[in-house]
């Protein structure tokens, strides 16, 4: 890896970085091309990711988690994304979007039931907020939960669910009272394989992160007992928003990893490829590209790690998480486009990895809140901080 910046990592964080880098190189990198080309879900990696503690990164040790901090989490996601963006988002959606809300809002019974199995990778988790007609405007949920004796009857469709086709557990958001707007939203935990009335829609064919399985999830007269309520009835929107703050740090780290892959591969290629009698790395236009990529990637990583430090310190970090996600995802897109350009014709063919990085980068500007939504979150928080 190119030496990054002077952000002070603790000894533990450095150890996690070297373990994650070594794991990514040894276990994930050899599969990365197959994962992309064959749209292959790397099932053999899941238990290995569990055994090194990467499937329960922040979860409490008392429930079988690794209880690492959020900087460690960003480091792990960056190292996985450096070699395979698909693998990194499988891990990130599982940790940030399923395990985190269960450990943060779940009852003791729920934690005992779900956290050990999710942390050990026996179970995989997903998060179901988006719907066919409800993306950025997350408060406008139409998947209905109607109260009945002992629980709720759920009907509706959830869309674009990362890990949906392979999940055992889903954190689900529903509308109980449309007239109450976001205060009518209620969250649940769903056992995907054993609850009747739950089925999967078609698996999506995607531009990038092709090994990360995505589908819709259909709820038809699905009964969820009281034991599956996550948090309080009507407080689901806050569960979703707080979960997404953390998720955005994970996607920022993923974007840093993808951008770094483009930079490292491009710097190496430019040092070897000759034009006009010398390596193209000695031509100033190529140096300008590399310099711009390097600046933005270091800045993106610093934004990401400092948002994580704030989360670890228990201080508000919604704006910082959105800033990290916005800047890192735009950096990933710009850096991978430059990476393709540096590779010239070789950048456009599948023999080299850089075209994969460019395809994988695009989604980081879309999922867990588009760049437009990140700007909205940043400005809203900024104005609140200034005006009180």
Which residues of the chain form contacts with ligand CAA (CB under 6 A)? Answer: 93, 127, 129-130, 136-139, 160-162, 182, 237-238, 241-242, 244-245, 318, 367-369, 373, 376-377
Q: How far, in Å, CA of 215 to CA of 161, rounded?
A: 5
Segment (H or E) for 245: helix 236-272
| Secondary structure of residue 121 in the 3-state scheme | coil
Compute the least distance from the CB of residue 234 to ligand CAA, in Å.
11
User: Which residues face 229 on adjacent strands?
Assistant: 188
Please give the C-alpha separations between residue 298 and each of 88, 134, 304, in angstroms, as whole numbers.
Answer: 19, 34, 10
Please give the C-alpha separations between residue 69 and each of 35, 121, 154, 306, 386, in angstroms, as whole numbers.
Answer: 29, 19, 35, 12, 29
- Which positions ≥6 away from 282 have C-beta within 8 Å? none
- Which positions ≥6 away from 329 have C-beta within 8 Å? 251, 252, 255, 361, 364, 365, 371
Compute the least distance from the CB of residue 91 to ligand CAA, in Å.
12
Q: Please, what is the angle between helix 85-92 and helix 354-362, to 10°?
A: 30
Q: How far, in Å, CA of 132 to CA of 134, rounded?
A: 6
Q: How far, in Å, CA of 317 to CA of 308, rounded?
A: 8
Catalytic sites, residue numbers: 368
Question: For residues 336 and 259, is the Cβ–Cβ distance under 8 A?
Answer: yes
Compute the least distance from the CB of residue 145 to ligand CAA, in Å.
18
Q: How far, in Å, CA of 339 to CA of 259, rounded?
A: 9
Q: Which is nearer to ligand CAA, 17 or 159 (CB)?
A: 159
Compute the least distance from the CB of residue 212 to ligand CAA, in Å.
9
Q: Which is nearer to ligand CAA, 198 or 342 (CB)?
A: 198
Kind of pairing, strands 185-191 and 151-162?
unpaired
Q: Which is nearer to ligand CAA, 42 or 64 (CB)?
A: 42
Question: For residues 133 and 90, is the Cβ–Cβ distance under 8 A?
Answer: no
Q: Which is nearer to ligand CAA, 88 or 162 (CB)?
A: 162
Q: Which is nearer to ligand CAA, 28 or 251 (CB)?
A: 251
Q: How far, in Å, CA of 387 to CA of 228, rounded?
A: 40
Q: Which is nearer to ligand CAA, 163 or 228 (CB)?
A: 163
Query: Quick one: tokens of 266?
Result: 């491009």
Compute the least distance from the CB of residue 89 to ligand CAA, in Å.
7
Compute the least distance from the CB of residue 23 to ligand CAA, in Å.
23
Residue keyed to tokens 């490292």: 264
Compute the least distance from the CB of residue 22 to ligand CAA, in Å.
27
Q: Which is nearer to ligand CAA, 138 or 267 (CB)?
A: 138
């Amino acid at each position: 890896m190119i030496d990054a910046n002077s952000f002070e990592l603790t000894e533990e964080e450095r150890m996690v970085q070297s373990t994650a880098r070594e794991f990514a190189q040894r276990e994930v990198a050899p599969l990365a091309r197959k994962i992309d080309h064959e749209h292959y879900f790397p099932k053999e990696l899941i238990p290995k990711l569990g055994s090194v503690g990467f499937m329960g990164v922040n979860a409490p040790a008392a429930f079988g988690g690794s209880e690492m901090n959020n900087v460690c989490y960003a480091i792990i996601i960056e190292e996985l994304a450096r070699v395979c963006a698909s693998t990194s988002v499988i891990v990130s959606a599982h940790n940030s979007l399923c395990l985190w809300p269960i450990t943060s809002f779940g009852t003791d019974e729920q934690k005992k039931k779900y956290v050990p199995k999710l942390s050990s990778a026996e179970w995989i988790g997903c998060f179901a907020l988006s719907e066919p007609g409800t993306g950025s405007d997350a408060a406008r949920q139409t998947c209905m939960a109607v109260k009945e004796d002992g629980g709720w009857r759920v009907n509706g469709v959830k869309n674009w669910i990362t890990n949906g086709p392979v999940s055992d557990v889903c954190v689900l958001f529903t509308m109980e009272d449309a007239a109450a707007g976001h205060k009518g939203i209620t969250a649940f935990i769903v056992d995907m394989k054993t609850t009747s009335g739950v089925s999967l829609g078609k698996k999506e064919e995607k531009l990038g992160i092709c090994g990360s399985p995505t589908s819709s999830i259909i709820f038809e007269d699905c009964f969820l007992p009281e034991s599956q309520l996550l948090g309080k009835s009507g407080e689901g929107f806050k569960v979703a928003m707080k979960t997404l703050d953390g998720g955005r740090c994970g996607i920022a780290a993923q974007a840093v990893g993808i951008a770094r892959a483009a930079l490292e591969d491009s710097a190496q290629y430019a040092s070897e490829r000759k034009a006009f009698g010398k390596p193209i790395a000695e031509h100033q236009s190529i140096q300008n590209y590399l310099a711009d990529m390097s600046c933005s990637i270091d800045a993106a990583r610093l934004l990401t790690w400092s948002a994580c430090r704030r989360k670890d310190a228990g201080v508000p970090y919604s704006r910082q998480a959105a800033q990290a996600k916005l800047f890192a995802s735009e950096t990933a897109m710009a850096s991978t486009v430059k990476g393709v350009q540096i590779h010239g014709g070789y950048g456009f063919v599948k023999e080299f990895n850089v075209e994969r990085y460019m395809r994988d980068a695009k989604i980081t500007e879309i999922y867990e809140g588009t760049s437009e939504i990140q700007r909205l979150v940043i400005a809203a928080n900024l104005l609140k901080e200034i005006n009180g």
